[in-house]
A and B are shown apart, each in its own frame.
Chain A
Amino acid sequence: MHKKFPALLAVAAAGGLLLSGCVPNPTATSQSLAVSSTETDCVVEANTATSGTLTFTVKNDGHRISEFYILAENGLSIVGEVENIAPGGTRDLTVVAQPGSYFTVCKPGMIGAGVGQAAFTVTGETVAVSADEQEAVNAAVASYVGYVKTQTSELLPAVEEFAAAYVAGDDGKARALFPIVRINYERIEPTAEQFGDLDPAIDYRKPGAEAEGLEFTGFHRIEMDLWIDEARLNYPDEQIDALDTAARTVLADKLVADVTELNDLVHDASFVLTLSDITNGAIGLLDEVAAPDGKLPGEENEFAHTDLYDFYANVEGAEVAYSTVRDIAASRGEAGAALVAELDTQFAAMKSLLETYGDYASGFVFYDTVGQDERNELGAQLNALSEPLSQLTHTVLGVASD
């Protein structure tokens, strides 16, 4: 069942431009809602509104700089955001709200998963929006850039918690956190890959690092230590010693430093993406799954066997990238409409198949328990999704709109 995401079209925020640069066209239906961002909550004056131009007036009642987001029904795609709200300050987020289900959330300190996430419903008729091509493209890119920033800002505190547990010798906690912490990273991995040395340092597998003569660091080095019995089984000819606290600290500090650098880079003003970065990134995420050293063969997390978490996160990341440009694709004639229909179907089928193996909250089964026939079925569904997804760049960039 498809969920339509970017139905709300963000317009502009006074003082801090968000999403597209288009200027709102005030109408009689213009509405305003007050938002209070505190250290622990995100109180919106009302949880419903009527479609049309809608302004959120966000006051920061906390003591750290804050942000306010409107998320799509999937809880991942960003429909609108306003950043850099100083303590005591107020900023506006103006959007053209289309009917649908959304979430509102604040992020004091600009880091982590945010606080006070709440459902927000828009009722009424669909609002005609500008057909301007460039506006739509700008809005799509801005939405995806916002998504990437959100993912890294959630990743950092999660990695810090994971690293602390690992250094403290709380292996049970670290093992439990390992697949969860990686979710934010796996959703946006092609973005990290554009920063040269960062992805290798954060996410290289043992054979990859050794083949390139790089020091083996990051998630998978820690994974090898946390699941050392599995590591010794996988590499029976090697002497694999458990790391002491000092060695663990070095690894943990480096991972935190590398993720901090990643977060800083995507929040830097120079961080830009193009539409084709987004559409090609979507297929790139699925290639990560299918590769011989990827999730489908169970090689990504070769010690922890938590590949299904990464698999699901890669699919989620691809789906957000797709949803960002979905409306543009849908406007590309019959072929565009057919592609969107097919991708809606295949994303839903991929996720529902994966969900037969679990979910983030209650856990996915370990991948070494997934049999060959079942892996084949996952691979076949992945092909069914990847093949139409590979047409997305052409449809969005190479076909004239209606």
Chain B
Amino acid sequence: MSHPTDDTDGVTLPAAELSSGLSRREVLGLVGAGAAGAVVGAGAAAMAGAALGGGAAQSPDLSYPFYGAHQAGILTPVQDQLHFASFDLTRTANRGAVIELLREWTDAAARLTRGRDVTQAGAVGGPPLAPPDDTGDALDLGPSGLTITFGFGPTLFHDAQGTDRLGIGGRRPAEFEELPLFAFDLIDRASSGGDLCIQACANDPQVAVHAIRNLSRIAFGTARIRWTQLGFGRTSSTTTGQLTPRNLFGFKDGTANIMSENRDAVLEHVWVPETHPQAWLRGGSYLVGRKIQMLIESWDRVSLHEQEHIIGRSKGEGAPLSGGREATTPDFERVSADGEVAIPVDAHVRLAHPVSNAGARMLRRGYNYVNGNNDLGQLDAGLFFLAYQAEPETFITVQRSLARDTLNEYIRHVGSSIWAVPPGAREGEFVGQALFSE
């Protein structure tokens, strides 16, 4: 399902216009040249996507810079595949070990996102009697648009017993707490939370899995995997060059997402501002992860008319039921011919819309998932919702508004996490360095 924050603002960088006149080779060359800065990189990639026809055939050579003012994997045009991992610190991990882990992760991520092996020796360059540094399963696959994004959980600052293991408790932002329970939540602690997280996105699933596998290997002794989630079929777009994808309910999702080209919206709603009392988080963001199980079998028995009235949009075009086309701003006042309000009062699009939430907007970056089936033979499938926002309150406001959503009958939130995502690292630094500065 979308958690739409409808945006019909003017777009600052119409990708289609920019890409006109550029050949495919020129576009890829521009990307390959490593456009400076994440925002510019995102724009260039959007152009690549547009030039390639909506990202249907992304080049394996597509690469996004790892270093920059902000971490990649946020404004970056959403890749097709996800492997997300949550880690807990081991019992023996201390401040020095965590700093060392972040340093190693940063170096490895910078290499992996360039399509290189995890170390110089890599998969086949090491001594024959030693196991290879790199697992080798991504050899020859290229960077495939890989981004690796790191985040810190509230429990990194104070563990379950309230202990400040790493001496960073004083730097925990006041607003940074575990998310509250919401209506219809059915949260499984085993797929929620964690001390550290890594979001790996790529256009080739094996590249994303390779990244998490090798980064997990580096973590042995300091952090262990708490839970992971594979995702496919991005459920939102973050640049105007991308087509709006569909979720597993068959509806277009993310029609009104914050687009990376809309710099004003990004500045206001995505990045933690320069005025934030915790200097280490300025230019970072808050990532909310929600594993939303879809009751697939029940949903598939709902009539088309009802499906559209639950969502508030048409299923084919994705247009609001108040009329127009996909990009048309919903008219919540409009009354249809039968005297009923065109978009029902409990429709998803209405309750999630910024006008219903004091202007709250977030950048959504979620993926569909299918984890096989449950014990009852029902498809274990849904949406792995990921959203970046400048403050946790944004998600909380919108999710509370959704308590009346008729869609709740067909979904259950089963995983819940929030992460503080530090700003990007410059070359020579490690991600989160400012948090651990003396």
Contacts and interface: CB of A to CB of B under 8 A. Distances in A.
Contacts of B297: 290, 383, 386
Nearest to B182: A211
Interface stretch (B327-335, B352-360, B375-383): B375-383
B91 interface: no
B186 A292 contact: yes
Contact of B377 (A207, A292, A380, A390): A380
Contacts of B377: 376, 379-380
B184 A292 contact: no
Contacts of A210: 181
B184 A387 contact: no
A379 B375 CA distance: 10
Interface in B387-416: 403, 409, 412
A301 B20 CA distance: 62
A212 B306 CA distance: 25
Nearest to B303: A393
Contact of B295 (A213, A290, A376, A379): A290
B409 A290 contact: no
Contact of B303 (A208, A297, A379, A394): A394
Contact of B412 (A287, A292, A296, A375): A292
B378 A379 contact: yes
B378 A290 contact: yes
Interface in A359-401: 372, 375-376, 379-380, 383, 386-387, 389-390, 393-394
A261 interface: no
A390 B301 contact: yes
Contacts of B301: 283, 287, 386-387, 389-390
A171 interface: no
Contact of B183 (A211, A291, A375, A390): A211
Contact of B376 (A213, A379, A386): A379
Contacts of B178: none
B293 interface: yes
B185 interface: yes
A14 to B, nearest CB: 37
Interface string B174-192: 0000000111111000000
B37 to A, nearest CB: 42
A287 B375 contact: no
B412 A208 contact: no
Interface string B292-327: 010101101111001000000000000000000000
Interface in B243-298: 293, 295, 297-298
Interface in B148-197: 181-186
Interface string B410-424: 001000000000000
Interface residues of B, number: 22
- Give the interface size class of chain A: 20 to 34
Contacts of A280: 306
Interface in B31-72: none
A394 B185 CA distance: 32
Contacts of A380: 377
Contacts of B375: 372, 375-376
A171 B11 CA distance: 67
A376 B376 contact: yes
Contacts of A277: none
A237 to B, nearest CB: 10
B185 A211 contact: yes
Contacts of A213: 181
Nearest to A208: B184
Nearest to B184: A211
Contacts of A291: 295, 298
Nearest to A283: B301
A342 interface: no
A41 interface: no
A211 B412 CA distance: 11
A66 to B, nearest CB: 40
Nearest to B304: A394
A67 B238 CA distance: 64
A253 interface: no
A383 B376 CA distance: 11
A137 B409 CA distance: 28
B226 to A, nearest CB: 18
Nearest to A387: B301
Contact of B293 (A208, A292, A383): A292
Contacts of B184: 208, 211-212
Contacts of B378: 290, 379
Contacts of A383: 297
Given A293-B412, A390-B301, 8 more contacts: A211-B183, A211-B184, A291-B298, A292-B293, A292-B295, A386-B297, A393-B303, A394-B303
24 contacts: A207-B185, A210-B181, A211-B181, A211-B182, A211-B183, A211-B185, A211-B186, A212-B183, A212-B184, A212-B403, A287-B301, A292-B293, A293-B412, A296-B376, A297-B376, A379-B376, A379-B377, A380-B377, A383-B297, A386-B297, A386-B298, A390-B300, A390-B301, A393-B303
Instruction: Report the 8 A-B pairs with minimum CB-CB distance, sorted nearest first.
Output: A390-B301, A211-B185, A212-B183, A379-B376, A287-B298, A211-B181, A376-B377, A372-B375
Interface of B: 181-186, 293, 295, 297-298, 300-303, 306, 375-378, 403, 409, 412
